Chains A and B, each alone.
Chain A
Amino acid sequence: MIIDALKNGIVIDHITAGKGMEIYNLLKLDEIETQVAIIKNAQSRKMGKKDIIKIEGVCDINLAILGYVDPGSSVNIIREGKLSEKFHPELPEKLEGILKCKNPRCITSVEQELKHIFKLTDKESRTYRCLYCESKYK
């Protein structure tokens, strides 16, 4: 399978095999007008299998969620056919509308319209706590 080399865009590489679709959904790539390719089960010397996502023509997607879902992935920003930036995603400080608070005593349990927001309270242990009730996400 040949996927055109990108002129401008983002390549998310080293995605844990099987997580490509989940990341596609979380990044809301279905809302993008330009070409997007998901490559499943690509061969990887390091990982055996991996997924890759290529996004054509867009460079400014909010990728914060990546650091939470798949911290081992890597992001390549391509500009004018050249690799202009490469980085590993960091754990986001805040996750909005992604995790759900399960504490039955939390205000989010009775007010459906409230956006579930979690904040990173400890980087080392990757601990996220509900903004409202401060219970830990497990």
Chain B
Amino acid sequence: MSAPINPEDIYEKAEVPSGRLAMWWFLSSEVCVFGGLLAVFVMLRLKNPIWEESAAKTLTVIGTINTLLLLTSSLFIVLAHHYAEKAMKDIKFKEHASYYLGLAIFLGFCFLGFKSFEYYNELSHGVTPLTNLFWSFYFFITGLHGFHVLIGIFINLWVWKDVKQGVNLQRVEIAGLYWHFVDVVWIFVFPLFYVA
């Protein structure tokens, strides 16, 4: 077993810290999952103008509220990251970081709450994934996105636990990257399913 080594002494200078770099690489493949899926949806939507009738039935109001919720939570993540950086120099800022991270998590739960209500509403009106291909895509894509929101919440909770102790503060940024990604996906999902 070799003696502990200091990376800076032996390796070429790293442009981007490993954690952040790995998250970027991971997200680049996530972009392909949603990018491919949404591209497929757009092409089919153009081929099937009749889907407009179904698309008109999505609850635009709740979609809008959810968009605002996610955007606001992204803002809170940015603030949490800002204070986490500060807390690395002065630990008293960890309170702020943890406060904003907590808010972001709360809004994430709110998003899922509204989304569940929406599903409940649709199902109780007899609209299911089997109604037609539009609804299949609607439930699949929003469901897959919702699943990513849930994972994002778990990541944030896991980081939050550490932030409250004032340790692993650099992870706020990495969790934040993921959260922003989930947010950006919704920015594409919202107009495609609720507005167009």
Q: Real complex partners, A and B? A: no
